[in-house]
Structure 1
Amino acid sequence: MKHKNNQLLKETHKFDVVIWITVSKEMSLAKLQKDLASKLDVKFSSNECETTRVGMLFETLSFKFSRFVMILDDVWERVYLEKRNALKELSLARQSVNGLEDGVIQQLRFSYDRLKDQQLQHYFLNCALYPGDFTIREIDLVHLWIVEGLVEEMNSR
């Protein structure tokens, strides 16, 4: 893995950043998030839940780096990166997302189901990831949608 990491670091034109994280045998998602945050210079406060940390990491990777490689070294068991992925859980219509009350999920599901256009549903799911009192800048959403392939043409902003 060290050889592959060094090889990728030499190919500076291909990636914005190459991230190397040693996972080890006693892997925990919280430690993996903390290590990734350290590499990306993301600061967590002590009271943030796992879902919030995932959102912060995703946002940093999406907005700062359009092309990145993450190497997880010394992995002893499968790492489920898709595990308090809220987008995936909402789109699969799970009954709860990381402790959210059923009523919230039902309201989100009701709104989601009423959007008949699949692209609008994707836009909705992206917005649903943000806390209710969070100010979402339009330019940040547009950038996220471009990164996720929801906006295909540069002139379609």
Structure 2
Amino acid sequence: MASASSLNTLIGLSKDGADKAGKQLQLLTAERQKAEAQLSTLQVYRQDYAQRLQKATESGLSASNYHNFRQFIATLDEAILQQNRVVVQMDAKIEQERQQWYAEKRRLSSFEALQTRQARQQTLRDNRSEQLASDEISANLYRRAHHSH
């Protein structure tokens, strides 16, 4: 069985690991939110340009301006596609880091349960030892009391 000091070391290391994984999870979540915000901005921008194109075609638009609008919208569509990929990749990283965090938390819980079990066993040993000492004192007092008669 692990000694108390080595168990405390393992618990400390596990806490550090869980904290580190938790902070990494927070960072990834913040990065994902930024990526989602960028995606949203691109989508709004694309919608705005699509509406501009619609209005421009209603009021008359040269072929080259129409082509430029369509080309810019196609560029926005590609940027949206790429940003969607970034968000999906961030989701995968977050899930991976979440699993790492769960694993660290389970490891920490296991060590803490072991520590609790060892503490209970030590308490039982201490109580038994105390009871034995008390019984021996009582037995000695009893013997003295009966030998003196």
TM-score norm. by structure 1 comes to 0.19
More helix by share: 2
Q: Which has the higher contact order (CA 8 A, sep 6+)?
A: 2
Higher strand share: 1
Larger gyration radius, structure 1 or structure 2: 2
What TM-score, normalized by structure 2, do the two folds share?
Answer: 0.20
